[in-house]
Structure 1
Amino acid sequence: MARSRNIKPGFFSNEHLAELDFATRLLFIGLWTEADREGRMEDRPRRLKMALFPADSVDIVHMLDDLDHLGFIKRYTVGDVQAIQIINWAKHQNPHMKEAKSIIPAMPVVEPSQGKHEESTVLAPDSHSSFPADSLSLDSGFLIPDSLNPSPAPVDAGELFARFWKLYPRKVGKDKAEKAWAKLKLTEALFDTIIKALAKHSLTPGWTKDNGQFIPHASTWLNGKRWEDEVSVPSNVHHLPSSRHTGFDQRDYKAGLTAVGDGTYEF
C-alpha cells in the first residue's frame, strides 16, 4: 500500500543521485511510498514495476542494482524473504505513529568484530526518528549512508574517462561507456587498477586476433568489472635460432705466428 512520504530540496541537488538516470531517481522516490515504517519492502521487481511504472518500459532490476551499488538501498535475503532496506531511512523519514509495524525481517547487522565501521540504519519497531521531517536536506547527508571514514579526495571523472577511452582499443559505444563510467565509485587508486588491467587485457589473444573483433564494448567491460578478472599475458619473446658461429673464445689466434721481443707476433 502506497504511503505519504517527505521529499525536500536536497534530493534534487544531491551529487550522488545525479550519477543515476532520471527513471532511477524517480524509482528511488517511489520506493519510499512502498516502504513500511522501517523503510523495508519485499524485493519484488515485477510488482514494483506495476505499482510505480505501469505505463513505462523500464528495467526495474537494473535500476535497483544501480541504487544498491551507490548505497541508497540494500537488497538482502533473510531465510526465504528477499527484501529491500532504504539506507538511513529512520534519519530522514518520519512515518505516522499509526502505521503498522514492519513484518519484513530486518537487514542483518555487520558485527564490529568483522573490522567494518558500520552503523545500523534501522530503528527498532517502536522507535521513532529524532529528526523532524523538515530536516531533510543535502547538508544533513540526505539518504546517503553514514561513514566514519573521511571521503577520498574528489577526482575529475570526465578527465579520467577521456584517458581511459583513449587507451581502450575498441572505439564503439562511447555514450554507453560514459554512463557505465559514471556509475563507478571512482578514486585515483581504482583508476590506476583499471588502467593496469586494461593493459594486460590488451595483450591477450582474444583481444589481439582478427583485428580485435572479439574485444568487448567498453560499457560491457566496465559494467562487468572485468578489471578484476585474472588475466594471463602470453610471452612475446621470440627465441633466435642457434648460430653456427660459436667457439670464438676457445680458438688459438696465435697459432702459426712467431713471437717478437716487444710482445707482438708476426707471420
Structure 2
Amino acid sequence: MRTRYIKPGFFKDDKLCELPPLARILFEGLWCLADREGRLEYRPKRIKIEILPYDDCNVEELLGLLESEFIYRYSVDGIEYVQIRNFTKHQRPHPNEEGICPAPEQIVNNHDSIVNNHERVILNRDSGYSYSYSKSISNNNKEEGKKKEEVKRKEEEEEKRKEESGFLEDFEDWWEDYPNKQGKERAKQHYITWRRKGKTPEELKQALRRYLAVKRKQKSETYSNGSTFLNPLPRGDSANINDYLEATPETMTESERMEMLDEMEKHRQFLESMNPEEKRRYYEAKGKHFKRFDGGDRLCEGGGKERGAGGEELLQSPL
C-alpha cells in the first residue's frame, strides 16, 4: 500500500455520487494499491483483503461498477490488470517509486476504445471504420523503451567519465606536491571520493598545505603514505586529511596565521574607535555584561570584575 493524495472535489463528483459508499471507498483504496502509473493486478480476493477486510461485500461486483468511468481492465501475457483512469493527472508518486505492472497495449482515454485479447481495436463513431493492430505494436514500444534507457545509461556514463577526467587532472596537480609517492592508485580513488563528497580542489590543496606546515614545524621528513593520508576513513594514528580540512591553531599555515592576526588588529582598531557607550552597546549585543565599580563602568565577561586606572576602560573580548 502506498500513500496517495485525495482532493476535495472527490466528495462532490456527480458520477461517483451515483455509486454505493463501498464502491467509492474501494476506488480510493485502488489508488494506494496501484503503482506509480495507476496500474495493479486484477485480483479481487487480494484487493478485498487489502481495502475492505471487514466488510461483507462482493468486490468483483464493486469493481464492475467502477469500470468504464473510473477504471478499465486489460490483459498482458494472460494476466489481467486494472488501469485507473487519469491517475497520473491527479497523483504525484514519489520519484523513486517504480512502475511494477506492464503497460496496456493501448491507453484507453474514452469509451470509443477497447482492449481485447492482445489486439488493439479503435472504433471511430464518426467514420464507422475500425483498425486492428497486432501485438507487435506493444513489443515495438517495449523495444523503443529499452533503446531509450540504453541511450540514457550511455549518456550518464559519459557524464561520469568526463567528471572523473576532471577529477584526475586535479589529483595530478595535488599529487605533485605530496612528498610520499607511495600508494598513488588508491590515493587517486580516495581523491575522487572526496570530490564527489563536495570538496573542492582548493580545499584539498589547502589541507595538504596545512599538513606540510605542521611537518615543517615538527622538523620531520616522515610523511604518511599518500593513500593513507587521503583515505576518507582514518586508520590508527597515521596522519589523515580529515585532521587538516579545517584550520586550527595547531594546523594553520603561516599565511592563515598572518591573516588571522590581521583580522585581530582590524578588530582592535575598530574597538578603539568607539566611545564607552558604543562599546557598551556592542558588547551587550554579544551577550557580555556591564557592571559598575568604583573606577567607573567596566565590561566584565562572565560577571567577573576588572579594575583599571580609568573609569572608561573596557575589556576587549577575545577573538
**TM-score, normalised relative to structure 1:** 0.41
- Answer 1 or 2: which has greater helix percent: 2
Larger Rg: 2
Higher strand share: 2
| Greater RCO, 1 or 2 (C-alpha within 8 Å, sep 6+) | 1
TM-score, normalization by structure 2 = 0.34
